[in-house]
């Protein structure tokens, strides 16, 4: 082979290599472009699916929150078991308190009534003693009314009367007053033109009031 042929062969070889390298570079570039395009398509394909899945998740969450919020609202107007028990116990307590208050007032009134009745029973036993003191003073002769004995009886009588007055016992004024069936007990009637009709002309036994109520009626004689 001559030198010219060698040169020609080397030149062809060089051109062939350059062409091959250029072709390989172009193929590599095309492969990269294809890969980039495939990745872009994949991203576009996955994006809607992610958005769709994300939207469904948001809608499900909103529905769950709506259901949770709607449950208390649905039960808001209805008292639960605990509230009903509280209302029942409160009502029961009020009823028991009212019944106890009425019972306390009733028993207090009964106690006061029993105490008053006891006082009246004792005072009725004492009144005859006052009557005896009055009879004793009336029986004292005129010449002995200033004696120590008569003054002693009078002092005892006044002390006794003062103690009864402090307890609420007061004598009923009857003689010369119009007859009152609420205060007087008429045991005798007499014709007397000097006084008005139905007037008390004589008192046989003095009557008394206890706390403005009749303890003992006055025993009297009334003019017709």
In this structure, what CATH number is given to the domain that contains residue 111?
A: 3.90.20
- Which residue in 106, 102, 219, 114 sits closest to 171, CA to CA? 219
pLDDT in tens, 165-203: 998 999 999 988 999 999 999 999 888 888 888 899 999
Residues 90 and 148 in one domain: yes
Residues 162 and 220 in one domain: no
- Could you tell me which residue, 70 or 136, shows the higher pLDDT? 136
In a domain, 32, yes or no: no
Is residue 185 exposed (0-12), middle (13-18) or buried (19+ Cβ within 10 Å)? middle
Residues 90 and 160 in one domain: yes
* Domain termination site, one of 167, 184, 207: 167
| Angle value at C-alpha 33, between 28 and 39, nearest 5 degrees | 125
In a domain, 58, yes or no: no
Residue 128 has pLDDT above 60, yes or no: yes
Residues 181 and 192 in one domain: yes
In a domain, 182, yes or no: yes
Residues 155 and 181 in one domain: no
In a domain, 211, yes or no: yes
In a domain, 219, yes or no: yes
Q: What is the pLDDT of residue 51?
A: 43
In a domain, 193, yes or no: yes
Q: pLDDT over 70 for what percent of the chain?
A: 65
Q: How confident is the model at residue 54 (pLDDT cuts 50, 70, 90)?
A: very low
* Domain termination site, one of 167, 191, 209: 167
Range of the domain at 88: 83-167
Residues 220 and 145 in one domain: no
* Domain termination site, one of 145, 167, 189: 167
Residues 194 and 154 in one domain: no
Question: Residues near 120 by Cβ (< 8 Å), separated by ≥ 6?
Answer: 210, 215
In a domain, 223, yes or no: yes
Q: What is the pLDDT of residue 49?
A: 45
CA distance 89 to 98: 14
In a domain, 65, yes or no: no
Residues 157 and 176 in one domain: no
pTM of the model: 0.53
- Domain containing 183 — which CATH number? 2.30.22.10
How many domains does the structure of the chain reveal? 2
Residue with the two structure tokens 């899945």: 53
């Amino acid at each position: 082979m001559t030198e010219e042929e060698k040169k020609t062969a080397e030149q062809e070889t060089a051109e062939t290599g350059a062409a091959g390298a250029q072709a390989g570079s172009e193929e590599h570039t095309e492969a990269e472009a294809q890969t980039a395009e495939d990745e872009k398509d994949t991203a576009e394909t996955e994006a809607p699916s992610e958005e769709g899945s994300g939207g469904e998740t948001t809608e499900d969450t909103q529905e769950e929150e709506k259901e949770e919020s709607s449950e208390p609202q649905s039960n808001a107007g209805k008292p639960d078991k605990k509230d009903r028990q509280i209302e029942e116990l409160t009502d029961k307590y009020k009823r028991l308190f009212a019944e106890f208050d009425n019972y306390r007032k009733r028993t207090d009134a009964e106690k006061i009534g029993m105490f008053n009745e006891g006082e009246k029973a004792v005072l009725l036993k004492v009144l005859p003693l006052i009557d005896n003191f009055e009879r004793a003073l009336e029986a004292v002769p005129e010449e002995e009314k200033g004696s120590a004995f008569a003054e002693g009886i009078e002092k005892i009588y006044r002390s006794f009367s003062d103690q009864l007055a402090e307890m609420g016992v007061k004598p009923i004024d009857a003689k010369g007053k119009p007859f009152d069936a609420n205060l007087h007990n008429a045991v005798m009637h007499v014709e007397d033109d000097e006084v008005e009709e139905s007037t008390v002309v004589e008192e046989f036994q003095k009557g008394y009031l206890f706390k403005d109520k009749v303890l003992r009626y006055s025993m009297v004689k009334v003019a017709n």
